[in-house]
C-alpha cells in the first residue's frame, strides 16, 4: 500500500516544529524583538498562495472574487515581507559592541 503524500508533509511539519524549538531557544534574549519581526516577515511566504490565486483563470475573467482576494492578499503579504525584513535590518544595524578605544 502506498503512503499518502499527506504523511510526508506531516513529517516535514513535525520535524520543523522541533527544529524551530531548538533554534529559537538558542536565540539570545536581547534579539527577541528582531526575532518577532523576522518571523513576521517569513510567515508572509503565504504570498505564494496569494500569487497562485491572483494568476489563476484566463484572460477574460481576471476579476473573479477569487482573483481579487488573491490580489489583496498579495498586497498584505508584501507589506509584511518588505516591512518585516527592512525593519529587522534597521534594528540589527543598531546592535553594536563596545568600542575598544576610549
Among 1, 3, 7, 58, binds another protein (CB under 8 A): 58
Tell the smallest beta-carbon distance from residue 60 to another protein (Å): 8
Closest residue by Cα to residue 67 from 44, 84, 51, 87? 51
Q: Note whether 2 binds another protein by CB under 8 A.
A: no
Q: Note whether 96 binds another protein by CB under 8 A.
A: yes
**29 DSSP assignment:** G
Tell the smallest beta-carbon distance from residue 2 to another protein (Å): 15
Distance (Å, whole) CA 73 – CA 67: 10
Amino acid at each position: 500500500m502506498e503512503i499518502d503524500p499527506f504523511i510526508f508533509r506531516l513529517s516535514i511539519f513535525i520535524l520543523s516544529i522541533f527544529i524551530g524549538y531548538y533554534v529559537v531557544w538558542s536565540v539570545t534574549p536581547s534579539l527577541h524583538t528582531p526575532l518577532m519581526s523576522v518571523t513576521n516577515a517569513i510567515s508572509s511566504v503565504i504570498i505564494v498562495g496569494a500569487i497562485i490565486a491572483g494568476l489563476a483563470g484566463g484572460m477574460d475573467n481576471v476579476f473573479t472574487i477569487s482573483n481579487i482576494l488573491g490580489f489583496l492578499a498579495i498586497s498584505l503579504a508584501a507589506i509584511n515581507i518588505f516591512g518585516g525584513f527592512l525593519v529587522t535590518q534597521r534594528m540589527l544595524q543598531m546592535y553594536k559592541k563596545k568600542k575598544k578605544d576610549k
